[in-house]
Amino acid sequence: MKLNITALLVLGLFIGCKSAHNSSSYDGKSGATKIVNTIHYPQEKHLKNIKQLTFGGDNAEAYWSFDNKKLVFQASNIWGLGCDQIFTMDISDDLSKGTKPQMVSTGLGRTTCSYFLSDNKTIIYSSTHLADKNCPPVPKKEDYGNKYIWPVYEGFDIFTADINGNQLKQLTFEKGYDAEPTVSPKGDKIVFTSTRTGDLELFTMNLDGSNVQQITDELGYDGGAFFSPDGTKLIFRSSRPKTEAEIKEYKVLLAVGLVQPTNMELYICNVDGSELTKITNLGSANWAPFFHPSGKKVIFSSNHKTKHSFNLFMINVDGTGLEQITFDTVFDAFPMFSPDGKKIVFSSNRNNNGTHDTNLFIADWVE
């Protein structure tokens, strides 16, 4: 699921602290928010030549084209958008003057989870526009004991379109939530999350929507999956209830189209679901994983170290060697390496003058 960034910040008690290019930190003595205009923290040794790509609104989940030249991402709270829509841009584009990039989605309903196909001309994404042309209502957490919740809209289906938003084609037709598609580096398979079996499980399918195969089958929300560089494995995040109380709450919420992912860990498995391995046991929310170009490590976002901020971390695929990559005071997430391994893109609240803006940043990757 492409996540609502504002809601995510609530998870870390970030209400009023969402920053994208200027990170805000809390001054315990005065009780005021101290704006830190920082684009690159000194400890971030793996990042070089950081460049801000977007300027205002909520911009997230930027993913590379196979030729390393373009990004596809979702944006909201800007350009008059009612809720998230999908856009593309060249990494050399200058959006600092408020230029609106090319919109791929229809502009109707809510969209999430976009990705390039290997031809670099086709985008896959999820949308609710067939179920309702209006933005679906956002659940009120006060109706659920002020707990942090994500909506799992039944109206989501998966579509492809060209980079100009034309040649729209529907790939999923099952009742319920079908979303979060990403494409194998081999260019032949799509992995996605669906409720078609009654739970939030991972599935794969061919590029035309055929040959659907179920990958996971344990109770819990399995999502945000990506293929390894060689296309043989999957990395994903999961919130899997264990106690009787947790299981009951999960089922009750899912029945009304909601999940509560306050505790998520990372799992790796083969593309067919075999050899499932849990690689983190950090507690809190560990999510947005993506394979390092070597296939031997995974980069991800987590608030396990400081509840009030999400940063990027790296870990070996066997669960060893945890290393912190970014050192923001609010929110860094959605990291993705370029296919050639030379660059990384991520979403951040750094350098936003203490506003709620989340922007996209690109950097050269340094081993």
Would you state the structure tokens that stand for residue 241, as one six-digit string? 């209830």
d(CA 261, CA 280): 15
Return the residue matching tokens 């999908």.
86
d(CA 290, CA 336): 6
What are the residue ranges spanned by the domains of the chain? 69-338
* pLDDT score, position 128: 98
Residue pair 357/330 in contact by the 8 Å Cβ criterion? no
CA 285 to mean position of chain CA atoms? 13
Question: Does the pTM of the predicted model rise above 0.85?
Answer: yes
> For the chain, how many residues are written?
367
* pLDDT score, position 148: 85
* pLDDT score, position 358: 97
Return the residue matching tokens 């200027």.
22
Would you state the structure tokens that stand for residue 176, as one six-digit string? 């319920």
d(CA 227, CA 183): 7
Q: Which residues of 334-359 are buried (b: 16+ CB within 10 A; e: fewer)?
A: bbbbbbeeebbbbbbbbbbebbbbbb
- DSSP states along 288-316: EEEE-TTSSEEEEEE-SS-TT-BEEEEEE
- DSSP states along 123-178: EEEEE-TTT-SSPPPPPPGGGGTT---EE--TT-EEEEEETTS-S-EE---SSS-E
* pLDDT score, position 30: 33
Q: Which of 170, 136, 132 is nearest to 153 (CA)?
A: 136
At the second CATH level, the architecture of 69-338 is: 6 Propeller (2.120)
d(CA 164, CA 272): 34
Percent helix / strand / coil, the chain, rounded to 5: 5, 40, 55
CA distances for 245 relative to 11, 195, 248, 284, angstroms: 21, 22, 5, 18
Q: What angle do CA 175, 289, 331 make, to 5 degrees?
A: 105
The pLDDT profile of the chain, 367 residues, written as one tens digit per residue, is 544 444 454 443 332 222 223 333 333 333 334 566 799 999 999 999 999 999 999 999 999 999 999 999 999 999 999 999 999 999 999 999 999 999 999 999 999 999 999 999 999 999 999 999 999 999 988 888 888 899 999 999 999 999 999 999 999 999 999 999 999 999 999 999 999 999 999 999 999 999 999 999 999 999 999 999 999 999 999 999 999 999 999 999 999 999 998 899 999 999 999 999 999 999 999 999 999 999 999 999 999 999 889 999 999 999 999 999 999 999 999 999 999 999 999 999 999 998 999 999 999 999 9
CA 361 to mean position of chain CA atoms? 14
